[in-house]
Structure formats: C-alpha cells, structure tokens
Structure 1
Amino acid sequence: MITDTHTHLYSEQFDEDRESVMERAKKIGVSRFFIPAIDSSYMDRMLDLEKNYSNSIFLMMGLHPTSVKENYKEELNFVKKWIDKRNFYAIGEIGIDLYWDKDFLKQQQDAFRIQIQWAKEKKLPIVIHCRNAFDEVFEILEEEKSDSLYGIFHCFTGTFEQAQQAISYNMKLGIGGVATFKNGKIDKFLKQIDLKNIVLETDAPYLAPTPYRGKRNESSYITNVIDKLVDIYDISFQEITEITTQNSKDVFGV
C-alpha cells in the first residue's frame, strides 16, 4: 500500500484523463489519496472527486495562502462552515507564501493562525504550505505549539536545521519530487532524518519528479520518489512504503 498524502486530483489539468490517472496510480499500489483544499472555488470539484472515488479519496479543508486576498475573511467563513458541517481529515493546505506576493502577509498570518486554532479545536492535523516563509511560519508555530498541534510540512524544501525545527512542532516532512532534483538539496541530509518523520506526496499536477520534471505530475510517479528514498536510506522499496504509509495513518487517523 502506497499513500499519496498530497495530490490535487480535482485540478483542471486532469479533466481529460482523470480515470486513467487514477488507474495508473492504483496499478502501482497507490490506494490512498489525500486531497488538499485551495479555496471555495474548488469545493464542488473536491466533492465530485470524493463521490466518484469514495474508497480512496480523503478530503482536507482550508484556505491556501496564495488565495488569501481582500476577501480572506469571507473565505475563512466558508472553511469554518464546512468543517462544522462534515468530516475532513486535515485542515490544509494552509500556511504562508511570500514567493508570489508579499502584499497580504498580515492577512496570511491571520488566516494561518486562525486555521491552526480550528484544527486544534477539531483535533485535526494541519498541512502546511511554506514558500519563502520559513521564519514567518515558524514564528506562528512557536506561538501555537501544543500537544494538540501536529501535521505535515508539505513539500519540505528547507535545510536540515529547519527540518529539525519542523519536526519539533510534531510535523512530518512531506517528501516528493524535489528530493529527486539535482538542485533539490534535501537529498543531501535526508538520511539524517528518521523515516518515522517522513510521508510521501506528489503535489500533482505540480513538481513532477525526475525524469518527468517540467511535465504534469501524477500520483503514479510517486514510485520515482520512493526509488530515491531507497537509495538514500539503503532499505527496500517495500520498507519505505510500509513505514511512510503507517506515518500517514498516524497523522490522519485513518
């Protein structure tokens, strides 16, 4: 059993061949797909995906930091309405992104903090998006840290020291295609990170691993990530999948 802890299967990029994408993933052993939210505009697509693949799709709910704009409080109200209405497996993806736009930093910080507090109230994990914002994300995690705060640091791209800090806040590291990049850097220190702190992800359709870099990513390519971890940790493919899937169960409770 392989678990893709982060994939946007509702993306428009899969509209022409979503069924084939799912079949390819299941053929190589991916049986669990955890689906992060972006904003209210994708909700119908997420629900349709869950309806069509109910045995393997697990939805999250949250407001992505790049969707934090002038109307972010309205979007947060939408998130709150849904997490009060039905079951989700995490609050995510949430966080801070200063790569595309720094104009809404205060609003992103506010949205991140509020959603962390909701996660603690609901006893749910969080899934963190962090881009060019490690200091800002860690500042809020330091404020909010507690035994009830846990989750995944999605698409981890930081240093060894930042990895240790993320783990100290009860976060697993989401490892995907970046680990296979020549300039990805994290492969240089990953062996120093205990596998109990790692989960697998693709972030499909984004961040396809080598040799597909620059093309549309999909969940079946997760085997390229596993192969890289086999080289790094010098253990079997099966051991990687068993440990990381158990880690995902520990986070999501399913």
Structure 2
Amino acid sequence: MNNIAKRPVDMSLPVNIHTHHFNSNRITEVLSVDYQNFDSFSPSSLAENQFYSLAFHPLGWPQNGSVDFLKVRELVSHKKCLAIGEVGLDKASSLSTENQLHLFRMLMPISEETKLPMVIHCVGRWNELELLLKERDFHAPEWIIHGFRKTKLADKFIDLGANLSFGKALLIDEKLQKCVAQLPAHRIFLETDDADVDLMLLYEKLAELKSLPLPAIIEQLFQNFKRVFRYG
C-alpha cells in the first residue's frame, strides 16, 4: 500500500499535475520521472510542495526494455509519489501497440494496490484507450488523460470516468476553449508538461472560460487534486 501521509496543505497554491521540470516554488507540482532514469533522481531532495509520478513514456521505451515490477512497487511507495505515469499509447512509438497495451495492463493492478491514479499519454490510439477505460474497475483509482486536445472525444472520455488535463494549447486553440468551457469543472486539471508556459496563464484562461473568479478556479482544481491524487 502507498504511504499516504498527512501533509500540510496550502490551499492558495495552484497545482501543476504534470511537468517535466519544476517551474516555481509558488505552485504545487508533480514531476514526471521516467522509470529508466530514476536512479539519478532523489525524492528526498524535493521541497514540501514538490512531488513526482513514475513514468513509462511510450516514446522513450526501448524495444528490449524490461520492467522490474518489484522495484516499481518500491518506487511508487515513497510518500512523495502521487501517481503512475505518464504511461500510455502512442502511434509513433517503436514498440508495437500490443506491447504498449501489455505494459499498461501490467501497471493497472499496481495502481489499484497502491491507490495511485494513472496519468495517461495517448496519441492516435484512442480506440485502444477507450477499451482500457472500459476494463478499469469502477472502484480503481482515477485516470487523468494529460495534454488533452481531442475535443470531439472529451464527452465520451468524461462519461467513461476519465479526468482531462489541459496545457499550453488551452491558451491558443479556440475549439479547445469552447470544449473546456462546457466540461464539468470537477473533472479538469491544468499542466505545463514540457512547455515554457506560466501555469497562472492557464488558470486565468480557465477562470475566464468558466466565468468564475480566479480564486474559485484555484480552489476547485485543488479539490480535484485532493480527490484524485489522495493529497492531504
């Protein structure tokens, strides 16, 4: 079981649920740390408002890559680990779709055992992801599809139980903005991913789209964070 420690919480801090580099000490952030590079990472060096997720990115996974699932369980048991991911499916991966699905399905029970949500990467494999969501146990930890831009699929994946996270595209994609404006706020997250973008610009845009004051959006997404990432 994951060690879900009671941590002091600053409700005024916006949350960046997926990043590849820490951006500011004024926000709460979850760093995506790749399994293959974990030996060079030190969880004990993280500040109070910094956390990590254990990633198995489909584009960075070698053909002969192997996973020690006992080690995975050890790495995700640290109190600073809040999620598994990003993990998922990508049409550009050197791995076959079959092998990508196999790795994903091997991680699903670990997510359930540790009560950690999964941060999902998906490019061009939406039908397969839909099937995985239908396989997911209703009581399992929630999933977050990160960097979401597929506006025509948003309602479908919300109905299947997924949460959606939005990044830099939210600032410039009008079709995406119209989509997000009508989505339920309790299923939304924001992220910087690997982009050079100020997280607060995303929060301000979301507040504008939802016709809500910025503090209300910060509070709502913080509550989402507490629920899905079992934070606090």
Short-chain TM bin: 0.7 to 0.9
1:240 aligns with 2:225: no
The equivalent of 1:133 in structure 2 is 125
Matched, 1:51 2:44: yes
Count of aligned pairs between the two proteins: 218
1:170 counterpart SS class: coil
Residue in structure 2 matching 1:37, options 33, 37, 42: 33
Runs of 4+ in structure 1 off by over 4 angstroms are 75-78
- Superposition RMSD in Å: 2.2
- The change in CA–CA distance for 1:134 and 1:119 in structure 2 (over 3 A counts) is same
Aligned residue for 2:89, secondary structure, equals strand
Change (3 A) 1:191 1:241: same
- Identity in percent: 25
Matched, 1:200 2:187: no
Q: Partner residue of 1:6?
A: 18
Q: Which residue of 2 aligns with 1:175?
A: 166
Pairing 1:106-125 to 2, within 5 Å after superposition: 106-125=98-117
- Of Structure 1 and Structure 2, the greater helix share is in 1
Name the one with the larger strand percent: 2
Counterparts of 1:33 and 1:45, CA distance in 2: 19
Q: Show the counterpart of 1:222.
A: 199
**Residue equivalent to 1:190:** 180
The structure-2 alpha-carbon separation of the partners of 1:251 and 1:139, relative to structure 1 and needing over 3 Å to count, comes to same
Partners in 2 of 1:34 and 1:251 — Cα distance? 13
Counterpart among 51, 63, 72 of residue 56 in structure 2: 63
Structure 2: stretches of 5+ with no match in the other structure: 1-12
- Asked if structure 1 preserves the Cα contact closer than 8 Å seen for 2:133 and 2:160, the reply is yes
- Cα separation, partners in 2 of 1:180 and 1:40, compared to 1, 3 Å: same
C-alpha distance after superposition, 1:209-253 (max 9, x if no partner): xxxxxxxx15xx011111211221111111111111111111111
Deviation of residue 76 (structure 1)?
A: 5.3
The 2-side partners of 1:81 and 1:55 are apart by 21
2-side partners of 1:46 and 1:175: how far apart?
A: 26
Report the TM-score when normalising by structure 1: 0.77
**CA separation of 1:96 and 1:190: change in aligned 2, threshold 3 A:** same
**Offset of 1:102 from its aligned partner?**
5.7
